[in-house]
Amino acid sequence: MSDEKIAGIMRDCVQAIVKGDVEKVLSLFAEDGVWTTPDGTFKGRDELRRYLTWFIRSVRDMTVKESGIRVMVQGNTGVYEHVLGGTMQGARYEGLAICVYEFKNEKIQEVRTVYDRLLLAKQVAKGWLAKWLVNMIVKQAEKGLR
């Protein structure tokens, strides 16, 4: 498969998520496709559907802006660097995400997504207790840094 086709499928996948089109996303995956995120590992169509449905329902006004290397393809693997934004629990957030896609037989076989869950929590925490807990965790993690 050409680099351009792989990049196109990756962008189609992201745009289908932004549009909330779970079935379109699933059509890009192999039957036994796997997606690993900070939220867990989801294998096969049923688990992918459950994850995507949850994710799309959890984030409103989703935006994706390519950043950094944008899309890079080598062989059957592509990397997509982007800034993901949206509204979660009534609060706006924005953060860097990186997805590594592996392809087999012109379908997505596996995606591994990384993003900073703590940054997300800092942006969407509501109420003094939630904000205090998130900030306490950040302070502990950064102890000795400054």
Q: Where are the domains of the chain?
A: 3-115, 117-146
**C-alpha to C-alpha distance for 73 and 53, rounded to whole angstroms:** 28
Q: Which of these CATH numbers, 1.20.1050.10, 3.40.630.40, 1.20.140.10, 3.10.450.50, describes 3-115?
A: 3.10.450.50
**C-alpha to C-alpha distance for 36 and 87, rounded to whole angstroms:** 22
Degrees (nearest 5) of the Cα angle 143, 145, 146? 105
Q: Please name the residues in contact with 94: beta carbons below 8 A apart, sequence gap of 6 or more.
A: 83, 84, 85, 123
- What was the pLDDT predicted at 145? 87
- What was the pLDDT predicted at 61? 96
Classified as helix, coil or strand, 76 is coil
Q: What is the value of pTM for the model shown?
A: 0.92
Q: Please name the residues in contact with 122: beta carbons below 8 A apart, sequence gap of 6 or more.
A: 134, 135, 138
Closest CA to 112 of 100, 95, 126, 97: 100
Degrees (nearest 5) of the Cα angle 6, 16, 79? 35
pLDDT in tens, the chain (146 residues): 999 999 999 999 999 999 999 999 999 999 999 999 999 999 999 999 999 999 999 999 999 999 999 999 999 999 999 999 999 989 999 999 999 999 999 999 999 999 999 999 999 999 999 999 999 999 998 999 88
Place of tokens 């003094």: 128
**Neighbour tally for 25: CB within 10 Å:** 24
SS3 content of the chain, % helix, strand, coil (to 5): 40, 45, 15
